Amino acid sequence: MARKPSGTRFLPRTAPVVDDGPVTVLVAAASRHGATQEIAESIGRTLTSTGVQAEVRKIDEVDDLARYEAFVIGSAVYMGSWLESARDFVEKHGDELAERPTWLFSSGPIGEPPRPEAEHAVQVDELRGKTNARDHSLFAGKLDKGRLGFGERALVLAFRAAEGDFRDWAEIEAWTREIAEALRP
Cα separation, 88 vs 59, in Å, equals: 10
Instruction: Report 104-123 residues binding ligand FMN (CB under 6 A).
Output: 107-110, 116, 121-122
43 or 77: CB nearest ligand FMN: 77
Question: Of 78, 88, 99, 111, which one interacts with ligand FMN (CB under 6 A)?
Answer: 78
7 vs 63: CA distance, rounded Å:
7
Is 128 one of the binding residues for ligand FMN (CB under 6 A)? no
Q: Please state the closest distance from residue 31 (CB atom) to ligand FMN, in A.
A: 3
109 φψ region: left (φ > 0), alpha (ψ -120 to 50), beta (else): beta
Among 23, 26, 35, 54, binds ligand FMN (CB under 6 A): 35
Q: Give first-to-last CA distance, the chain, whole Å.
A: 41
| Residue range at the interface with ligand FMN (CB under 6 A); choices 88-96, 135-143, 168-176, 177-185 | 135-143
Residue 141 binds to ligand FMN (criterion: CB under 6 A): yes
Size of the site for ligand FMN (CB under 6 A): 25
SS3 (DSSP) at 161: coil
Identity of the residue numbered 73: I
Q: Residues near 91 by Cβ (< 8 Å), separated by ≥ 6?
A: 130
Q: How far is the CB of 64 from ligand FMN (least distance, A)?
A: 24
By C-alpha distance, which of 129, 93, 86 is closest to 108?
A: 86
Binding site for ligand FMN (CB under 6 A): 31-36, 76-80, 107-110, 116, 121-122, 141-143, 148, 152, 155-156
